[in-house]
Structure 1
Amino acid sequence: MGASEWDYYVPYQEDLNAALQRLRREVFDAGDYYWVNGGDWRPEAEREPRPQSLEELWEDELVQETGTHSILDVFHVVGPGESPDYSTVAPVTAEEARERLGTDELTRAHVTDFDVFPRSRWIGRCAVLHDDEDAPQEIYFWGHSGD
């Protein structure tokens, strides 16, 4: 299948990891992810119902190998001084934003230029987006994952 790109906007909150966890819960509850065991590639009689919890989802070996092609494939936001690793989210730092886009206060208008930020498969990114008065407005999560 190959990796899939994904992105999400959520209302701003100071705790980026709490925002990620809430988003993951919403995506899971909505069923807005690739469920390998229920895929159209399987005969209908062999399709399994979606899991009842995130824990149950990740207990499945096929899910561990192929992912969900969604925000569910990343588990937490790394903190300052922490290196991003498989299944984590790295926030865009003020230094990165200033160096690559010339501003500390990113907005939705900058999102189209976010390809300047380094990224890797199975490692998400996030950025705090500001309104016209430079107040934090929302958080943008993006990445690509899945096999």
Structure 2
Amino acid sequence: MDALRQQVFDRQDYYWDPWDDDEGEGEGDEAKAWPSTFDQLWQDERVQEEGTHSILDMWRIVRPGEDPDHGTVQPVQPAEAHRVAGTDRLTRAHVPDIEPLADRRWFGRCAVLHDAHGRPEEIYFWGFSGD
């Protein structure tokens, strides 16, 4: 997850409002530069209130049996996968089946997706962050 967060930050693939006030772009106004560090990003008041609408709003992955909380990602457990998708070897084809498992704001899910031979191929993250 840390590598994904860094990639999203480096690509600037997250919500960032470059204007200092709610009135937006105006004549003579200068846009704020994109943050160059995570600390700079999280010092922004609007980001603190509204989030980035990305994986950057998630801080850690919870362990099995641990209750998910604000800013956490919960892995799909085998029994959950089997209940909603009929298998615990999820593939890209199962994504529509598992997406409803992320049903709260400021909370994410992740699942290991497998290739056609049943080998782990990717970790899929999804959820809702930001207001």
- The alignment of Structure 1 onto Structure 2 pairs a total of residues equal to 128
Q: Which residue matches 1:30?
A: 11
The one of 95, 99, 105 aligned to 1:115: 99
Which of the residues 58, 72, 78 maps onto 2:62? 78
For 1:1-147, list aligned pairs within 5 A. 20-38=1-19, 41-43=24-26, 45-147=29-131
Q: Distance in 2 between matches of 1:108 and 1:64?
A: 33
Of the structure 1 ranges 58-67 and 35-44, higher mean CA displacement relative to structure 2 is found in 35-44
Name the stretch that deviates more: 36-45 or 79-88. 36-45
SS at match of 1:45: coil
Runs of 4+ in structure 1 over 3 Å off: 37-40
* Greater RCO, CA 8 A, separation 6+: 1
Note if contact 1:90-1:126 (Cα within 8 Å) is conserved in structure 2: yes
2:125 & 2:102 partners in 1: Cα distance?
14
Name the Cα RMSD after superposition: 1.8
How many angstroms does 1:45 deviate by? Answer: 1.9
Structure 2: distance between partners of 1:138 and 1:82: 23
TM-score, normalised by the number of residues in structure 2: 0.88
Give the TM-score of the pair, scaled to structure 1: 0.79
